[in-house]
Structure 1
């Protein structure tokens, strides 16, 4: 169990808040689609924005409130967030054309390089 507690995602107010070691943190996020705690990396992952009903922005937030945005992989669109046993929180991305036989893929977040990596197909 991680140190991040009480994650609240309020799309009407455009705000995500959480507690880390008893201290309250929050950030403003427009058009929140999904926010989830990444216990494996002690962070929070947020999908936001909309284009053709798909989220357009991916933000990784560290427990101390610092954050960085990640670009969507070429030829893919952000789809949804999911928990993955091997990589923590995965970002499922979809492609209009199959890539190695699949349209939906789990991408992991490399927090050091601040980039996504393709992990495995999403079934």
Structure 2
């Protein structure tokens, strides 16, 4: 996970400590929901918005937010992704939420591969 841009040893330790065992999350979507990056649709008339659930791990969400901020500042690929979202009419917060959602999927996959590599195969 340390190979990801914007993830240092402190954030990696915070994420691993808060996640614990990945057995709690049967899919990437469940992990994103726990992190608070899977939005819940709220509607009022013709306006459709998304908000975050209140039943999330705020420390995981904060760690993903810090990684997303670092990636937008320092990496052109992620900055272009956010600019593309903004060009489609999304606000800054919505564009960051989309980036955090992508990060949640990537981090979950990294944690899964790291967990499988760390566990010895049954003989």
Q: Which has the larger radius of gyration?
A: 2
Structure with greater helix percent:
2
Fold-level similarity (TM above 0.5): no
> TM-score per shorter chain, which class?
under 0.3
- Compare relative contact order (CA 8 Å, sep 6+) and give the higher one, 1 or 2: 2
Higher strand share: 1
**What TM-score results when the alignment is normalised by the length of structure 2?**
0.21
